[in-house]
A and B are shown apart, each in its own frame.
Chain A
Amino acid sequence: EDQVTQSPEALRLQEGESSSLNCSYTVSGLRGLFWYRQDPGKGPEFLFTLYSAGEEKEKERLKATLTKKESFLHITAPKPEDSATYLCAVLGGSGTYKYIFGTGTRLKVLA
C-alpha cells in the first residue's frame, strides 16, 4: 500500500539547535516528493520538489534530501520564525498517479 509517514509528530528546538525531520515513503513509480510549510490558519507553502535519489535542494536554513525510501528536511540553526508544520507529500502509484500527504511534523523553535 502506498503511504507516507512523517516523524517526529512534534519537535521542540532551541533557537540555533539544528535538527532533521523525516519523511518515509512507500510508493510505486515515484513521480516526485514535495515538502511544504504550513502556518496555523493558512494554506501550505511550497518549499521543494525532489525527483530522484541523491537529489538535494536548499533554501535559506532548509535543506531537503532524498533516498529511495525516505527524505529528510534538515533545519540548520533554526529561528523562532521557522516554527510551523512541515508536510511531506509524494506523487506516484501504479496506473493512476495520486498525491499522498503525510500527517506533518509540528516544529516549535524557542527563542
Chain B
Amino acid sequence: GAVVSQHPSRVICKSGTSVKIECRSLDFQATTMFWYRQFPKQSLMLMATSNEGSKATYEQGVEKDKFLINHASLTLSTLTVTSAHPEDSSFYICSASGPAGGNEQFFGPGTRLTVL
C-alpha cells in the first residue's frame, strides 16, 4: 500500500516552454501533497505544500508564478514549470501523506527535468 506515482519520469524541453508533472496517490487519499527539488548529492529541498482544494503554500524563495501547483483532488497534484530555463533543470519529487491518518510522507519515483 501507500504507492505514489509520478509522470513523466524524464522530460527534456526547450528553454521557454512549460512542463507539467503529475503526482498521483494510487491507493490512498492524500490529505497533503508536497513538492521537492533535489540537486545531485544534496538533500531534498521543499518547494511547496498543498492541500486538496486550497492554494499551495510555497517555501521562501520559490517563485509561485514559475512553479504552479494544482491539487485538484485527493489523489492528484500537478506541478507546472512555466517558461522553463536551464537553471530549472533538476530532479523533482512529490510526496503524499495521509494513508490511515498517519504522518508519514510517501514519495513518488521522481521526474528528471532537463531544459536545453
Contact = CB atoms under 8 A, between A and B. Distances in A.
Interface string A84-100: 00010101000000010
Nearest to A97: B103
Interface in B75-116: 91, 93, 95, 102-110, 112
Given A41-B110, A43-B93, A103 B42 contact: yes
Contacts, number: 48
Interface string A47-90: 00100000000000000000000000000000000000001010
Would you call the interface of chain A mostly helix, strand, loop, or mixed? strand
A43 B109 contact: yes
Q: How many interface residues does chain B have, given as a range?
A: 20 to 34
Would you call the interface of chain B mostly helix, strand, loop, or mixed? strand
A101 B106 contact: no
Contacts of B103: 31-32, 34, 49, 91
Q: How many interface residues does chain A have, given as a range?
A: 20 to 34
A34 B112 CA distance: 25
Contacts of A104: 43
Interface of A: 31-32, 34, 36, 41-46, 49, 87, 89, 91, 99, 101-104, 106
Interface of B: 2, 4, 6, 34, 41-44, 46, 91, 93, 95, 102-110, 112
